[in-house]
Amino acid sequence: MSWHPQYRSSKFRHVFGKPASKENCYDSVPITRSVHDNHFCAVNPHFIAVVTECAGGGAFLVIPLHQTGKLDPHYPKVCGHRGNVLDVKWNPFNDFEIASCSEDATIKIWDIPKQLLAKNLTVCKKELVGHARRVGLVEWHPTAASILFSSGYDYKVMVWNLDTKEAVIMSPVKTINCHQDVILSMSFNTNGSLLATTCKDRKIRVLDPRAGAVLQEASYKGHRANKVLFLGNLKKLLSTGTSRWNNRQMALWDQDDLSVPLAEEDLDGSSGVLFPFYDSDTNMLYVVGKGDGNIRYYEVSTDKPHLNYLTEYRSYNPQKGIGVMPKRGLDVSSCEIFRFYKLITTKSLIEPISMIVPRRSESYQEDIYPPTAGAQPSLTAQEWLSGMNKGPVLMSLRPGSELLSPQPLPPERPPSKPRPHTSPRLFNQTEKLAAEDGRRPLSLLEERAPRWVAEHRLEEKKTWFTNGFDIFECPPPKTENELLQMFYRQQDEIRRLRELVTQREVQAKQLELEIKNLRMGSERL
């Protein structure tokens, strides 16, 4: 009988979480103290929106992403609701439009100016009035423009078409009345043709969002669902909730058969709600617990076991809510594949946490950045309402690339400038040193210089690049992940030095041969 090892190969096995430094956090932010189980934070490549405490109505802050550090206590707010704001969501196709819902039973659409707010923003672009009780959740359609979903404490899900000239919309285009209690979460599949919901009756439902019909309903008693999430194009659902013994639990479901889960996994005995986040580009699942300080992450596969635990990011600071940056706002130069914005109410702090794949190369990593959903809709509101379905318009994260078609196509490489035939080893060294030093790489004229000149400049760059310190000297690592990164950098430096020594030995041998030839020639003369 052959023995099979109990490990699996994965390029994301060593993903680690890197918290931002203090100066790159958002300090003195009056984060809401609401007890609702929502994210309370929404992020896009330009702004971070966070629900805040406000006397006399509800408000939220919109902070430019680059404006880190301590927040002015008189910083302008977006305030127009008469009750507490419960949820905010950025329009995925317009980085300057945001939807908010409130205890005053209304949804408001806001236009955020591109310049900084000079005073409180109180006039909204549109107001949606239709719910009889407070509105707990809002969700934009993933592929159709101007389609917004809302769920309220009147047990209704409403579909709104914002592609109208009316400032106040009194009636939705569709009302879904199949729930018997408060809706706890909503999630769309990739093309927005299916909507999954969880309800306070602990049932999971898969709906046709246009017809309002229930296509699947889970009646499994061993798992009481709280949050649900479509797992991209895997045709699977993931729900978080509690088991019959009140342990926090995750369950994986086939979206076409909700009778029995494909897999269940108990986590712990804590009471905080688990927020799941799925990255369809990397097939990674992140589970964030409310009131926890850690973030667990898994790799999802179609084969058993479907959920493969990787590791977790640990912190002593508990999170009240969490925001997620869209993939188009990530820093691909540092191999960042996901970014959280953690709300820490005990410190009035918003802390960015980057999930990074450790790679030695500084070039663009094609294998961890496949084409991803861009900021353009693939359908108009009327097309979607008439029954059309389309996947998202894809884009490449390679800097300077163009939008791709809705079908995943391999991104084209940008045209490279013609370069002279130089030593590839030397070119890699100089390019790497220029990137590490923050200065421009060698110009074309400099590349045409003799080899010894380039090596001499390489040594000069090395001396001022290290700032007078030993090349292995660096600040002490704070975490195991930073220690691993430092180890990789040192290995690269050792390899570079060995290559340089080898080059010098070859040059010395060539010089000896030339001297020998000169001596032989002089003796003949």
Q: What is the DSSP letter of 14?
A: T
Do 368 and 507 have their domain in common? no
For residue 503, what are the domain limits? 490-519
Q: Is residue 454 part of a domain?
A: no
Q: How far apart are CA 61 and CA 51, in angstroms?
A: 6
Residue 302 lies in a domain: yes
Residue 399 forms part of a structural domain: no
- Looking at residue 402, its pLDDT comes to 63
Surface-to-core class of residue 523, CB atoms within 10 Å of its CB (0-12 exposed, 13-18 middle, 19+ buried): exposed
The sign of the dihedral angle between the CA atoms of 379, 152, 324, 248 is: negative
Q: Is 21 part of a structural domain of the chain?
A: yes
Dist. CA 20–CA 48, nearest whole Å: 15
353 and 495 fall within a common domain: no
Contact predicate 262/306, CB 8 Å: yes
Alpha helix positions (H), 92-174: none
Which token pair is 76?
A: 């302008």
pLDDT score, position 77: 93
Indicate whether 150 belongs to any domain: yes
pLDDT for residue 54? 79
pLDDT value for 483: 72
Closest residue by Cα to residue 358 from 331, 327, 335: 335
Q: How far apart are CA 216 and CA 221, in angstroms?
A: 16
Task: State the distance between the two ends of the chain, measured CA to CA, in whole angstroms.
Answer: 79
- φ and ψ at residue 199, rounded to 5 degrees: -130, 165
Please tell me whether residue 429 adopts helix, strand or coil conformation: helix
Strands (E), 357-399: 372-373, 394-395
What the block records as the tokens of 334 is 């540092």
| Residue 8: per-residue pLDDT | 65
Chain center to CA of 21: 18
3-state secondary structure of 11: coil
Cβ–Cβ under 8 Å, residues 48 and 26: yes
Q: What Cα–Cα distance (Å) separates residue 362 from each residue in 331, 429, 438?
A: 12, 12, 13
Give the tokens for residue 212: 């309002």
- 158 part of a folded domain: yes
Residue bearing tokens 């001297």 = 515
Residue 500 lies in a domain: yes
What pTM was estimated for this model as a whole?
0.75
Q: How many domains does the chain have?
A: 2
420 CB contacts (<8 Å, ≥6 apart)?
A: 444, 447, 448
* Residues 354 and 495 placed together within one structural domain of the fold: no
Same domain, yes or no: 368 and 497: no
Please check whether residue 425 lies inside any domain of the structure: no
**Residue where one domain finishes, among candidates 372, 403, 433:** 372
Last residue of a domain, one of 321, 341, 372: 372
At which of 323, 355, 372 does a domain end? 372
CATH code: domain of residue 150: 2.130.10.10
Per-residue pLDDT of the chain (525 residues; tens, 9 = 90+): 344 445 567 888 889 999 999 999 999 999 998 888 899 999 999 999 999 987 777 899 999 999 999 999 899 999 989 999 999 999 999 999 999 999 999 999 999 998 878 899 999 999 999 999 999 999 999 999 999 999 999 999 999 999 999 999 999 999 999 999 999 999 999 999 999 999 998 899 999 999 999 999 987 888 999 999 999 889 999 999 998 888 999 999 999 999 999 999 999 888 889 999 999 999 999 999 999 999 999 999 888 888 999 999 999 999 999 999 999 999 999 999 999 999 999 999 999 999 999 988 778 888 999 999 999 999 999 999 999 999 999 999 988 876 665 444 334 334 334 333 344 343 444 444 444 444 444 443 333 444 433 444 444 433 333 333 343 444 455 566 667 777 777 888 888 888 889 888 888 988 888 888 888 888 877
